[in-house]
Structure 1
Amino acid sequence: MPMTGFVLAALAETMKKGTSFGAPCLLENVLAEMVISAVPSIEMVRFVNSGTEACMGVLRLARAFTGKQKFIKFEGCYHGHANSFLVKAGSGVATLGLPDSPGVPKSATSDTLTAPYNDLAAVEKLFEANKGEIAAIILEPVVGNSGFITPKPEFIDGIRRITKDNGALLIFDEVMTGFRLAYGGAQEYFGITPDLTTLGKIIGGGLPVGAYGGRRDIMEMVAPAGPMYQAGTLSGNPLAMTAGIHTLKRLRQPGTYEYLDKITKELTNGILEAGKKTGHAMCGGYISGMFGFFFTEGPVYDFSDAKKSDTEKFGKFFRGMLEEGVYFAPSQFEAGFTSLAHTPQDIQFTIAAAEKVLSRI
């Protein structure tokens, strides 16, 4: 039975007992234990309903724990649509060319500091200029919302050192990278343990879900154990928990990430080679089940580099691929993902379609 079949069958059984209880259920404990055993930084976890909600909760928690208000995010990184994060954000904000969003008051972003991704010197300057005021750094350990951008070898190590030296928390937003780069996420892949982590999407097997977790001493600030309040009637609902449990069971089977790495490598290299054969300036890369490419010579280290891409050409490529039966994300500033459902035949079909489209744009 395909993976989706296992998940759907389990959901059908769960639905017979109820779709939402507005109270804790045993399934939350089961999935929580799986997440805690998988993700190096997570000793306690709180389920929510989306990645946006997870990032909202984790920022409130970081401020409550440190007693500080300011935080640093990176240009082009997207952490959901909460007011505090809609400053130099990526994803749809980048695609539409919106520097901020109407409706966000200045007071909501006054404590949001930004730096270019992969720029340690800029981060150090922010800490120097805001001594004792910065609660946390939040980042996508591999950027997926400015396109696919990997950290320089020294970058995440440096961020970890800077936060420790300044009494700030390090938050990995692994809504995209969690359970994709490795079973333990980007933190397992890079060998860097943050203080707090946000998760989403994949831990619900396609159902609405999110989570934040981290060190026990920090998480014990969250109500009812501590004074920082956050709750949600639908959080940890039995359907999302069931789908998540069965998805993670499949992902932890031997060979999962080796297979994802193999097909993603073939896909990425195939598309870049097609670009080279047809005379297009392109660059890109991949890690496990996550990949991306830009219509620019590169290299791309941050959002400023990503914006040098030929977005008009990407639009032609996207529409051409649709005509060939392949649906990429409709933005130059979005990473792509492979899955266990993709076959080697799917990969070869996509590469052939890409070469066909690139030869005519």
Structure 2
Amino acid sequence: MTTSEQLFEKAKTIIPGGVNSPVRAFRSVGGTPLFIKSAKGPYVYDEDGNRYVELINSWGPMILGHAFEPVEKAVRDAIQHSFSFGAPTRKEVEMAELIISMVPSVEKVRMVNSGTEATMAAIRVARGFTGRDKMIKFEGCYHGHGDSFLIAAGSGAMTMGIPDSPGVTKATAADTLTAPYNDLAAVERLFDSNHNQIAAVILEPVVGNMGCVLPEPGFLEGVRDLCTSHGAVLIFDEVMTGFRLAKGGAQERFGITPDLTTMGKIIGGGMPVGAYGGRAEIMDIVAPAGPVYQAGTLSGNPIAMSAGLAMLHHLNDHPDVYTRLDEVGGRLAAGFREGFVKAGLNFTINQIGSMFTPFMTERTVTNFSDAKTCDVSMFGRYFHAMLKRGVYLAPSQFESLFVSVALTDELIGQVIQAHAESLTEAI
């Protein structure tokens, strides 16, 4: 029995399902999850000493590779002054200034501890600002485990085969309206049938939680126009795309201005952190400036702020990072696509910048229904064939992959070769 197997058996007796986040359990791909001991650059190492090239990067934040030295140094320097104060610090101000300078739509920002906290707060703020109760989300989009978001949720619920979560009240569900992603007409119908009741529309401008799904031309612009005309708050969930697809996130890449933006992952350099921000008139209703309450003892803690500042300053000062990320993502997607063709498979690759997903379906994937046509059994076989060849993918068909600049040209070639061999084994 491997060390990972031993640890998982023990974990199952003391942790629900043996993991602290469901997708880690390998339920959808089978087998035992790897317990990771360390990571550096493009590699992760498990408790049995095996090394893997990985394409997850802690689900997005390790955009510069694991244990990037300037970020590591910033954390080491910060911990000498204690770990948390529960009081304001200079670094919170510096982080806020930096985010506002990089993200086009953000005039004021509030730090929190996770992406889920950010999205929960953003919805509450939108409701407080508009005086309305209902929200629109999109089928297959996952915005964290807040009650409002576990209606037609994406990756986590799909992977576990649970479309909605027990414990979410009927009243909450009634205030959550859903539409298919990329279906602008459906959004318009929801606005028309819920006149002056919709507080906000929340969406991933590029979806990462049913796999990587891109907005079709005109979709984001159309949603923006509908929110403006109906007096609703447009929230871009950029927890995954923020600072990854461009310095200013997907909103910079697509030229769309949301009213509120939620952020996470990269702004902590891998530390637990999140943020939400947007138009000053909306953010000024957040306590203590206004009546909408949101708080957190560890929000803006100095360790996370130090890591995030080092990460964002590097991205801000080195725009060539994004050129390289686009190159790496494009080469991998092209190589994977060629592998499908050579294997006689007309499968789908969705890719933008450093995010991509190989979908085991012949259907073009533009929404949740398309994604659900994937052959998840084949993906499971393929996942383990890649693992055997030293490539660690997300253990679910319904997740985006995230690449880093730590991938060299040689490693890209090795991953593409492993992909081709793994398809042959999985068929």
TM-score (norm 1): 0.98
Task: Please list, as runs of the form range in 1=range in 2, the aligned pairs for 1:243-282 lying within 5 A after superposition.
Answer: 243-252=307-316, 253-282=318-347
Task: Please list, as runs of the form range in 1=range in 2, the aligned pairs for 1:31-180 lying within 5 A after superposition.
Answer: 31-180=95-244
Cα deviation code 1:280-333 (max 9, x no counterpart): 231112211111120111211100011111111111111111111101101111
Match of 1:218 in 2: 282
The alpha carbon displacement at 1:341 in A equals 1.7
Runs of 5+ consecutive residues of structure 2 not aligned to the other structure: 1-39, 42-63
The alpha carbon displacement at 1:108 in A equals 2.3
In the aligned structure 1, how far is the partner of 2:126 from the partner of 2:394? 32
Identity among equivalent positions (%) equals 57
The alpha carbon displacement at 1:154 in A equals 1.0
Runs of 5+ consecutive residues of structure 1 not aligned to the other structure: none
Task: Please list, as runs of the form range in 1=range in 2, the aligned pairs for 1:7-22 lying within 5 A after superposition.
Answer: 7-22=71-86
Structure 1 moving runs of 4+ over 6 Å: none
The alpha carbon displacement at 1:340 in A equals 1.8
1:340 aligns with 2:405: yes
Match of 2:416 in 1: 351
In the aligned structure 2, how far is the partner of 1:334 from the partner of 1:301? 14
The alpha carbon displacement at 1:250 in A equals 1.5
SS at match of 1:202: helix
Cα deviation code 1:252-277 (max 9, x no counterpart): 21311000000110001101110110
Q: Which amino acid aligns with 1:317?
A: Y
SS at match of 2:246: coil
Q: Which amino acid aligns with 1:354?
A: H
Q: Which amino acid aligns with 1:244?
A: G
Cα deviation code 1:50-70 (max 9, x no counterpart): 000000000000000000000
SS at match of 1:212: strand
In the aligned structure 2, how far is the partner of 1:323 from the partner of 1:351? 14
Q: Which amino acid aligns with 2:231?
A: G
Match of 1:318 in 2: 383
User: Is the Cα contact below 8 Å between 1:48 and 1:211 reproduced in 2?
Assistant: yes
SS at match of 1:79: coil
Q: Which amino acid aligns with 1:50?
A: S
Cα deviation code 1:165-192 (max 9, x no counterpart): 1010100000010011101000000000
RMSD (Å) for aligned C-alpha atoms: 1.1
In the aligned structure 2, how far is the partner of 1:292 from the partner of 1:78? 16
In the aligned structure 2, how far is the partner of 1:161 from the partner of 1:26? 38
Q: How many residues are matched?
A: 361
The alpha carbon displacement at 1:107 in A equals 2.1
- Higher mean C-alpha deviation, range 106-115 or range 2-11: 2-11
Q: Which amino acid aligns with 1:345?
A: E
User: Is the Cα contact below 8 Å between 2:133 and 2:197 reproduced in 1?
Assistant: yes
In the aligned structure 2, how far is the partner of 1:249 from the partner of 1:285? 30
Q: Which amino acid aligns with 2:425?
A: R
TM-score (norm 2): 0.83
Match of 2:270 in 1: 206
In the aligned structure 2, how far is the partner of 1:222 from the partner of 1:289? 34
In the aligned structure 2, how far is the partner of 1:84 from the partner of 1:168? 17
Match of 2:392 in 1: 327
- Higher mean C-alpha deviation, range 100-109 or range 20-29: 100-109
